[in-house]
Amino acid sequence: MKLTRMSEGCMDSETTWCAMFERLRKPARCVSLVAIAVLLALAALFGNGCSSKAAANPAPATIKESPEMLPLDIAVVDESGKPVEGAEVEAHGLRTKKIRSGDWYRWRGEAQKAVTNAQGVARIQYPKYVEEQMETGKVDVLVSHKLFVVSRQEVSVDGSSKPVALLRGATVKVFGYVEREDQVVWPIHALLNYEGAQNWVPVEGPRKGLASSQYIHPGPQFLWLVHRTPEGSLLFSEALEFTAVKDGVHEFSLPLEPGVRLEGHLDANIPRPVKNGLAEVQVRPLKQDNSELRWTARTKTNEDGAFAFESLPKGYAEVAAWCDGGLTAYHPSGDTSSFVFPLPVNLPAGQTGIEIPMTRTSCATVRVEGPDGHPLDGAQVGFSPNIQWFRRFATLVIPSPLGSMEMLETDERKSWPSDTFMAVTNADGLATVSGLPPGYESFGVTHNAYEMPLNGTRRYGRIDLKPGETTAVTVRLQPKGTQVLGQ
Same domain (yes/no): 152, 190 = no
Task: List, for residues 434-472, the tens digit of each pLDDT value.
Answer: 999 999 999 999 999 999 999 988 999 999 999 999 999
Same domain (yes/no): 157, 24 = yes
Question: What CATH number does the domain containing 96 carry?
Answer: 2.60.40.1120
Range of lowest pLDDT (199-203, 327-331, 445-449): 199-203
Domain finish residue from 360, 378, 410: 360
The number of domains in the chain is 3
Same domain (yes/no): 268, 213 = no
Res. 16 pLDDT band, cuts 50 70 90: very low
230-234: list long-range contacts, CB under 8 Å, 24+ apart: 233/258, 233/310, 233/311, 234/258, 234/259, 234/310, 234/311, 234/405
Q: Is 467 domain-assigned?
A: no
Same domain (yes/no): 151, 205 = no
Task: List, for residues 124-149, the tens digit of each pLDDT value.
Answer: 999 999 989 999 999 999 999 999 99
Residue 472 vs residues 380, 451, 458: alpha-carbon distances, Å: 16, 20, 22
Q: Is 411 domain-assigned?
A: no
Distance CA 128, CA 134 (A): 8
With beta carbons less than 8 A apart as the criterion, state whether 211 and 282 touch: no
* 139: containing domain: 18-165
Question: What CATH number does the domain containing 192 carry?
Answer: 2.60.40
Q: Is 474 domain-assigned?
A: no
Range of lowest pLDDT (190-199, 290-299, 452-461): 190-199
* Bridge partners for 430 per DSSP: 367
Res. 289 pLDDT band, cuts 50 70 90: low
Q: Is 472 domain-assigned?
A: no
Res. 299 pLDDT band, cuts 50 70 90: very high
Q: Is 54 domain-assigned?
A: yes
Same domain (yes/no): 30, 159 = yes
Same domain (yes/no): 191, 291 = no
Same domain (yes/no): 291, 161 = no
Domain finish residue from 360, 380, 409: 360
Same domain (yes/no): 54, 112 = yes
Same domain (yes/no): 160, 29 = yes
Same domain (yes/no): 31, 49 = yes
Same domain (yes/no): 283, 331 = yes
Domain finish residue from 240, 257, 274: 257
Q: Is 457 domain-assigned?
A: no
Distance CA 69, CA 158 (A): 15
Same domain (yes/no): 132, 175 = no
Q: Is 433 domain-assigned?
A: no
Q: Is 344 domain-assigned?
A: yes
